[in-house]
Amino acid sequence: MSDSASLGVRHQSGLEPLTALTRPAAQQPEWPDRDRAGSVRSALATSPPLVRWEEVRELGTLLARVAEGELCVLQAGDCAEDPAECGAADVALKTEMLDVLGDIMRVGAGRPVVRVGRLAGQFAKPRSRAHETVDGVRLPVFRGPMVNGPEPTPEARRPNPARLLDCRASAERSLRALEALGRGAGCHPRERVWTSHEALLLDYEGPQVRPTGEGGHYLSSAHWPWIGERTRQPGNAHVRLLARLGNPVACKVGPEATAEEVLELCTLLDPRRIPGRLTLIARFGAGAIGRLAPLVRAVRGAGHPVLWMCDPMHGNTVADGTGLKIRHLDAVMNELRGFLSVVADAGGRCAGLHIESSPLDISECAGAGVTPIRGPRYRTLCDPRLNLMQAVAVVAHWQPITRPGVQPSAT
Ligand code: PEP
Ligand code: CO
């Protein structure tokens, strides 16, 4: 783990420690070159903000309207972004995908859609294991292009802190490309493609926490950071980091989560119960989605105005007969249908959908005529993504149910 005590936050008066980051943190790389990691953190702390506080506040206003039931959210993109795919043409395609999917979602939802990319920062991955064995060689796992390389060699897998700066530069390129498309900073909030990623690497996120100018702090690396199923321990650094941000924040929740844990997260991440402030992203798996019901009821019972989103991808990852990681479209759609009915029955607010998808011609998930096989059309850096046709089918299933007599908690 990195030396979290030395992480800095830029204040008007220079660098000061961010005490939240001195807590234990899961999923952090061991940088072999600690001095270099320190100078990278300093460089990040003095770099300009990628997103401005005013933009983040605008997204917060939109998400408050999601809580009112006026809008819904589509969040989509790569599992791990490729820094080589952050140019103008790449970002134009990703934006077109969000637009097509958002338009379809609007039809089913009957309300306008806030479009959010897993982009301009989605470069680091939590992993279930620290090592893997490839052709008899034990290697550190690939932790995303912000940490190491995907190639199965000891050299590529060596964590390199210079990647933090390279990925920040790629994020900046994506943001400039969005601006050039008229979908970035300065455009109308309803036209905007908002940026989101998992706030995983504290060495990247900590130095990009900035003052809002209104007495608080915000994360300037993305409009909407989330934390994952593997870093949501209430006492740890990731939760405490999100707790002190002015950004709207999200947290993934899986089938192992207890109502007690979820209520603790609500108390820590949204103590003032601000509608739109906290989104919980359910990722249960089609077979376990029923276990979401007691969590939605507990949150509603406690009066938290949480937005519930459905990630029907991460609980449905399986290996095919050859060991290739795939997802079945049927399972993805079953989880989505289950989510809509469970959340409606429990009186929660179905806020939107979170998927891994790509506009490229890929065959990584099974279904809709696709059988994934290793080769040029299976090119994800991490988890299998829906191709456009599959994503259209999934998004078309977003048809929230209104049960007579059950009022969503946030209205
Ligand atoms: C992800 O969103 O890519 C991810 C790793 O999700 P989770 O933390 O839910 O497994
Ligand atoms: Co993923």
Pocket test for ligand 1, best of 75, 314, 316 (most atoms within 8 A of CB): 314
Q: Which atom of ligand 1 approaches the CA of 383 most closely?
A: 3
Q: How far is CA 302 from the centre of its chain?
A: 25
Ligand 1 centroid – CA 314 distance (Å): 6
Task: For 332, list phi and psi in degrees, rounded to 5.
Answer: -60, -45
Q: Which residue minimizes the CA distance to atom 4 of ligand 1?
A: 228
Nearest CA to ligand 1 atom 8: 228
The CA 198 to ligand 1 mean position distance, Å, reads 8
d(CA 253, ligand 1 centre) in Å = 10
Which residues lie below 8 Å from residue 319, measured CB to CB, with a gap of 6+?
325, 326
Please give all residues whose CB falls under 5 A of ion ligand 2, grouped by chain where several chains appear. Answer: 79, 383
Q: How far is the CA of 209 from the centre of ligand 1 (A)?
A: 22
Residue 122 CA, ligand 2 centroid: distance in Å = 10
Alpha-carbon distance of 152 to 157, in angstroms, equals: 7
Number of residues that this document lists for the chain: 411
Phi, psi torsion values for 353, nearest 5 degrees? -125, 140
Question: 250, 279 in Cβ contact below 8 A?
Answer: yes
Question: Which one of 198, 239, 256, 327 would you pick to mutate in the ligand 1 pocket, going by the greatest count of ligand atoms within 8 A of its CB?
Answer: 198
Ligand nearest to the CA of 196: 1
Tokens matching residue 394: 């999934």
Nearest atom in ligand 1 to the alpha carbon of residue 122 is: 3
Q: H or E element: which one contains 58?
A: helix 53-67
pLDDT per 10-residue tile (average), the chain, 411 residues: 39 46 91 96 98 98 97 98 98 98 97 98 97 96 98 98 98 98 96 98 97 97 98 96 97 98 98 98 98 98 97 98 97 98 95 98 97 97 98 96 65 41
Exposure string of 357-384, with b = 16+ CB inside 10 Å and e = fewer, is: bbbbebbbbbbeebebeeeeebebbbbb
Cα(32) to centroid(ligand 1), Å: 26
Q: What is the pLDDT of residue 298?
A: 98
Ligand 1 site, CB within 6 A = 79, 126, 198, 228-230, 252, 283, 314, 383
Complete domains list, the chain, with CATH: 8-395 (3.20.20.70)
- What span, in angstroms and rounded, lies between the C-alpha atoms of 182 and 192? 8
Residues contacting 406, CB < 8 A, separation 6+:
344, 345, 347
pLDDT tens column, 21-73: 789 999 999 999 999 999 999 999 999 999 999 999 999 999 999 999 999 99
355, 391 Cβ separation under 8 angstroms: yes
* Atom 3 (ligand 1) nearest CA: 79
Write out pLDDT tens, residues 354-368: 999 999 999 999 999
H helical segments located in 117-161: 154-157
